[in-house]
Amino acid sequence: MALLNLIASRRVRLLALAAVATLLLMNSSLFSNGYRRQFEQEPPVYLPTTSHADVNMREVSSAAAAAVAASAGLHTLRDQLAYVFPYNAESMIPRSVWQTWKTSPSDPQFPANYKHCHKKWTSACKDAGYSYNMLTDSDAMALLESVYAETPLVIKAYKLLPTAILRADFFRYLILFARGGIYSDMDTRPLKALGKWSSVEEKYLAHIAELSTEAYIPYKDINRNRMPAKASVKEPGLVIGIEADPDRDDWDDWYARRIQFCQWTIQAKPGHPALRELILNITATTLHSVPGPLRDSDDNSNLFDTAHSDDYNVNRRAKRGSDPLYKHNEAKVKKNVDGTDIMNWTGPGIFSDIIFEYLTNTLQHNNDIVLLNTDLQTPTAQNEDLTKSIKRFYKTINAALQTSGTVAWEFFAFLRNPVLVDDVMVLPITSFSPGVGQMEAKGTDDPMAFVEHMFSGSWKDEADGNKPAENAPKVNGGIPPVPA
């Protein structure tokens, strides 16, 4: 009898434990679902445009930090990026170099013609005390997933990009925004010691600081009382070069923009707001252009600025925007991405656009911006050829600056020396494209020649294979023949 009572007692206990376990599982499921619903009810991350931004892009970082401190939340990707990667204009440019390729230099698949370039960069870094970072595609993905964990839309966009060259372009902006330093394509080699670049050479920076107090160019709404009486010697926050300045009637057969900035070599401090705007644009363009739930949603008004939807549409950029026969609403997949898409999605076309928009926004929202262009400001030499001089555009430049506070493309024409707009330094074409034999570029032995680009550019032929032959561009980003 005692044995039967013991068995019954154990059975009751087991039934009770099973009931408790079931309740716990049910509560866990209910909690999980409740948590998920709460997460899903959070406001979506809004993707504002750069082209129609009514904010002071230079000052977003402090505004974002204040919003977080006040628990207002960060519901735009611009604010999220500014908060996660704050910008310190007073800091030094990180002494580091970043490069990436499909495989490591020790892999048999690593291109033989890049090994010399790799050796040059590692040697230059060692001599200057810079860190050298060579990442394979898998390394790059792992690093970005870690660094951009707090901005998941950026990682989502990176993974959705339909071609390797789009991801390679995006990577360079992402790594410089997060870590800073120099990014340079694998088919480049340094020509000067890294410490001798205009952006970091102490003697040249001291010269720039002196000019900043005496020879700055005025623009609309400038407050001369706010200009520095004694400028501090500090390194620029973003350093870019001219890729193309084609003073020829057929320039748009060869290049995406009349003045086109180079993005095979870029130097930056982490968190620079111009790079933030570029990352915002590429993320928004990708999520709007690539098939997926964000593009295909019936209501994207909480994600995109529907009043300016063309800002997100790569099919509407440059000449394609005015082509009535082009499929402007077509989603982008690997088989229909061509060279023109690359230029205007992640390449030098959109890079140049965002730089110009950022510079103009900076002038229009701040009254203490230093503008320096010694090519424009120095007296005309007796034997100077004005047809190949920026002074040919003096009236156009002055009208744009004084009337609307706009940085016109002419401000960077025929550059021989670095130009400064606030903390963005623009180097002449000789700096990153020496020896091309045109567009006033000097040779590789010129004092302003810092990096030589080998123009391997194999991606262009592959990408343009997606275009009908009758519509294919000539090169659209390479070096055209010198006009007769």
CA distance 294 to 283: 12
CB-based contact 365:58 (threshold 8 Å) = yes
Phi and psi dihedrals of 389, rounded to 5? -130, 145
CB-based contact 340:169 (threshold 8 Å) = no
Q: What is the pLDDT of residue 23?
A: 42
DSSP β-bridge partners for residue 231: none
CA distance 3 to 476: 91
Map tokens 């490591």 to a residue.
104
Sheet with 96-101, strands from edge to edge, namely 131-136, 96-101, 181-184, 260-268, 238-244, 424-427, 419-421, 371-373
Domain boundaries, the chain: 96-471
Closest CA to 460 of 292, 341, 309: 341
Q: What is the pLDDT of residue 297?
A: 66
Q: What is the pLDDT along the chain (484 residues), one digit of tens a residue?
A: 444 444 445 454 545 444 444 444 344 333 334 333 333 335 578 999 999 998 999 999 877 777 776 666 778 999 999 999 999 999 999 999 999 999 999 999 999 999 999 999 999 999 999 999 999 999 999 999 999 999 999 999 999 999 999 999 999 999 999 999 999 999 999 999 999 999 999 999 999 999 999 899 999 999 999 998 888 889 999 999 999 999 999 998 889 999 999 999 999 999 999 999 999 999 999 999 998 777 766 666 678 888 898 999 999 998 888 899 999 989 999 999 999 999 999 999 999 999 999 999 999 999 999 999 999 998 888 888 888 999 999 999 999 999 999 999 999 999 999 999 999 999 999 999 999 989 999 999 999 999 999 876 544 455 555 554 444 444 444 556 554 3
CB-based contact 69:102 (threshold 8 Å) = no
Q: What is the pLDDT of residue 382?
A: 80
Helix (H, G, I), strand (E, B) or coil at 243: strand
Strands 181-184 and 96-101: parallel
- Whole-model pTM: value is 0.87
Look up residue 482 and give its amino acid: V
